[in-house]
Structures are given as structure tokens and as C-alpha cells.
Amino acid sequence: MAGAKFYSQTTSWCPECRQKVPARIVSADSRVWLEKVCGRHGVDRVLVSEDVPGYERRLAHTRPGLAPLSRFNPGFAGCPESCGLCPEHRQHTCLPVAEITSRCDLGCPVCLKTDGDVYEMTPGEFRRALSRLREYEGEVMLLNLSGGEPTLHPEFGKFVNIARSAGVAQLTVSTNGLRLLNDPALRELFVRGNVVAALQFDGLDDEIYLKLRGRKLLEEKLRLVEIFEAEKLPYSLVAVAARGVNDHALADLADFFFQSEALSLMFQPVALTGRAGSGGAFRTDNRLTLDRAVAEIEKSKHMAPGDMAPIACSHPGCAASAYYFKIGPNRFLSLKDFLGFPQYQKVTSNRSFPGLDLEGHQVIKDRIYESWSSLTSSPGDKEVRARIREFFKSLEGREFTPEQAFETGRDSVKSVFVHGLMDPLSFDFDRLVKCCNHYLQAGGRLVPMCAHNLAKHPGPPA
């Protein structure tokens, strides 16, 4: 095809026979496609991006991965059968996730699980798995408890205590918030344990909740935000984004986030796996791509086109992020603009919070000194300078325990992410082998999130 481009060769999944098949990433018709070729079922194409130049810019952001200190599996016999991690995996674990229960008090059409999943991790299994994780990673900076609804685990408090005594600097809990809303003692546990509630929050319109969560929930979500802020319970917002449901309202949600005390905002375009893949609520030919989601989010009045960049530790097709310093009420400075892209990439890859480890801190400090001469003396620039100087002065001479770093980051940094999880139709093994988001299993195995979803849930019917 004239004008078509070929980017890379990979392996995917045939939607008919569910076998691994050769695939390639190509551009055609001003779009980027994952094109799979099955010997029995022919060619199948899945949309990757509607923005060819944007996709090519993202590809340029690839950085080499970091090896973990050790791996669960010493040999490789096939991907993803050898998870892991196995010797072929090209990235360590930036975000470990422990699914501690499959119980849930909602039945979201958009859920990545199916009703058949019944599972509960014991605190003992969790403790042992965490100690394996420390063998792989050394320090465990960040850990997420997930489910189901993890707060429904009858021994939830024990998981928090175990994570804390294992030295996890930042513990986050993915939650729909319903139990937190009605249980002050549980909220107190979050506040005391410095646990971040990663609250599902898909938009500011009940029609969105009806379609994604199966019932109206806006009032509950707004009350939760109010309560979290009044009780100083640290929280972040997590939104599923679906084309034709809330893709037109992503910037409104970002505006809400910037006005709130939430630490971060994560968007997850729907992946057609589990109930989301089998329930028929979401169409396979109506995908919200990463580039399209980013373009919608960047319409926020606090953001600018180009603010979001690929997260360099995973494959550039997986995720994008933007970080902002809080300069003053309603003023945010893009860290990427401030540092310039190469330095920004240095401080954000393979890390959970930029600039708060020693190397990242030095990069940012150098840039502040450099900026002294280049900034004008306009009141705006003075304000920026004063705020950044104050921030770094507060860090000066400090021992950087991971906990202090997170505390400091919380008050001064806001971040926005998009995470484009794969499903059996969009599966690209090239992305999988560089995955840095891993499920921590009871026996100490680490399984990249998308591999876990692929193994458990066959996805939409062909």
C-alpha cells in the first residue's frame, strides 16, 4: 500500500483460534494498526493510534529497562507461560499489585474480572510473597492492593500492617469507595497507616456511572472526595474511559482533579477482557486509543497539548504521564517544560515519583540554578522561582527515606496518567516483555498485568 509504513514485528493473538500468531505494527489510512496474520484465519487488524506523527514521536521515547536483582523463574519455555519474571523479561517491577480478594460489592460492566473468579489471599501468603518481592527488587517503594474490592477482605487491616512492617513506603488501595463511605473506622485505618485510596471516579455525570458501573454513583463519589479532604485521607482518582461514554468529558475530569486535593489522576481506556469483554457493553471496533485519550485530557484548562509523554520504563505504547509542580492556588508548572525533555525522562523513568531520589533531585536542582539566569523578572516568573526554591529548600540536607520523599511529593506534585491495558484483541507481546506493572502472586511469582488478564479471561467473542 503506497505511503504505508512498517514499524515493528511482534507476536499477537488470533481472535478466532486463540493461538499466538505473527503480527506487525503498520500505518495505513493515516492510522496505526496491529496487523495479525493467522495461517488458518487470515489477517485481522486492530486500531493502535489515529495519530501517526504522535505515534512516531512516542516510539522515540523508548529507554532500556532495568533488570531486577533476581527472578522467580530461572528458565524460559514460552511467553507468557514462563511468568515470572523469567530471564526474557526486560523490565523490573515499578508497580507491584497484590489482588487480595475477588469479593466485590459492585458488578461493573467494565470490570476486568468475571463472576467466576473466586479468590482470597491469606495474610501469611501476602507476607511470604512480599519477602520474595524484596529479593527481586531490594527496597519496595510502592505497592498497590487490589481486587475485587480489597477493603472487603475480612483481614484487610492485617494486609496494611504487613505492608507497613515490610517497609513499603507508599501503599495504595484500589477501591470503589462504597465501604469507605460508610465505615469511619476503615477511613481511620487509611489515615493512620498513610494509605492512599485510589478511588474509582469516572466522571461528573451519572450517565457515565450507569454505563460503566451499572448504577448511579456520582453523589457517593462526591461525598467521598469531601470526606477524604475533611479527614485528610490521602487519595487519588482512577477513571475508566470509554469511547462514546466519557471520552468527551476527560478534560472536565482533569479540571476537577486540579481543583481537588487528589494526588494523581489515572485514566484507563476500557480493555475488552473479563466482563468488559464478554458482556457486549463495549464494541471492539470503537476503541479509545492512548493517543486519542491523551488529546482529550490535554484539553484541560490546566494542561497544554504535548504535556503528556510516554512513561519511558514500559513500552511507549503502554502509558503516558505528566507531572506538575503546584506553584500556587490554581497554578501548575509542567515538569517536562521546566526540565526539558531529556532531563524529564531521566527523573521520571523507573521511578514512582520524579525528582525525589538523590539522582532526580540533583537533576532538578541543577535546572533550578540554570533557570535563575534565564527567567525574566516578571512577577509570574518570580512566583515560580520562589515556589520551586521553597520546595527544594525543604528537601535540602535531608536524608531521603522513601517515606519522606513520598510525603514531600504529595504536597508539591500532581500527576496525570493514562494506562492503556491490552486485551486479547490488542495483545502485543513486544509490549508485554517490557511491562513494569506486575501482579504479585501468593507463591511469589510476578505476572505482568496484561499476561494475567490474558491467561484468565479469553476476552470478547470473535
| Residues within the interface to ligand SF4 (CB under 6 A) | 79-80, 82-86, 88-89, 104, 106-108, 111, 113, 147-149, 176, 314-315, 318-319, 419-422, 431-433, 435-437, 448-451
We find the least distance from the C-beta atom of residue 285 to ligand SF4, in angstroms, to be 20
We find the least distance from the C-beta atom of residue 54 to Zn ion, in angstroms, to be 31
User: Contact with Zn ion (CB under 5 A): which of 1, 2, 3, 40?
Assistant: 40
Residue of this chain nearest to ligand SF4 (CB atom)? 84
Euclidean distance between CA atoms 197 and 187, whole angstroms:
9
- Is the Cβ of residue 38 or residue 270 nearer to Zn ion in the bound state? 38
In the three-class reduction of DSSP (H, G, I as helix; E, B as strand; rest coil), residue 168 is classed as coil
- Asked if 115 touches Zn ion (CB under 5 A), the answer is no
For residue 309, the 8-state DSSP code is E
Residue 20 main-chain phi, psi, to 5 deg? -70, 135
User: Could you tell me which of 303, 276, 125 has the C-alpha nearest to residue 202?
Assistant: 276
- Is the Cβ of residue 266 or residue 433 nearer to ligand SF4 in the bound state? 433
User: Contact with Zn ion (CB under 5 A): which of 6, 8, 17, 42?
Assistant: 17
- Asked if 22 touches Zn ion (CB under 5 A), the answer is no
Cα–Cα distances in angstroms (integers) from residue 81 to residues 319, 372, 447, in the given order: 24, 53, 10
Q: Out of ligand SF4, Zn ion, none, which partner does residue 16 contact, by CB within 5 to 8 A per kind?
A: Zn ion
Name the grid cell of 182.
460508610
Q: Out of Zn ion, ligand SF4, none, which partner does residue 89 contact, by CB within 5 to 8 A per kind?
A: ligand SF4
User: Contact with Zn ion (CB under 5 A): which of 12, 14, 82, 428?
Assistant: 14
We find the least distance from the C-beta atom of residue 412 to ligand SF4, in angstroms, to be 26
- Is the Cβ of residue 206 or residue 383 nearer to ligand SF4 in the bound state? 206
- Asked if 425 touches Zn ion (CB under 5 A), the answer is no
CA atoms in the 13 A half-sphere facing the CB of 90: 15
Contact 99, 121 (CB under 8 A): yes
- Asked if 16 touches Zn ion (CB under 5 A), the answer is yes
Q: Out of ligand SF4, Zn ion, none, which partner does residue 254 contact, by CB within 5 to 8 A per kind?
A: none
Euclidean distance between CA atoms 189 and 375, whole angstroms:
45
We find the least distance from the C-beta atom of residue 361 to ligand SF4, in angstroms, to be 26
- Is the Cβ of residue 1 or residue 60 nearer to ligand SF4 in the bound state? 60
**Beta-strand pair 31-38/437-440:** unpaired
We find the least distance from the C-beta atom of residue 174 to ligand SF4, in angstroms, to be 7
Restricting to residues 299-358, name those near Zn ion by CB under 5 A: none
Contact 361, 413 (CB under 8 A): no
CA atoms in the 13 A half-sphere facing the CB of 110: 23
Euclidean distance between CA atoms 364 and 311, whole angstroms:
18
Euclidean distance between CA atoms 448 and 33, whole angstroms:
23
User: Contact with Zn ion (CB under 5 A): which of 20, 24, 31, 41?
Assistant: 41
Q: How many helices (H) and strands (E) does the chain have?
A: 17, 16
We find the least distance from the C-beta atom of residue 63 to ligand SF4, in angstroms, to be 14
User: Could you tell me which of 247, 352, 249 has the C-alpha nearest to residue 290?
Assistant: 247
Under the rule (CB under 5 A), what is the footprint of Zn ion? 14, 16-17, 38, 40-41
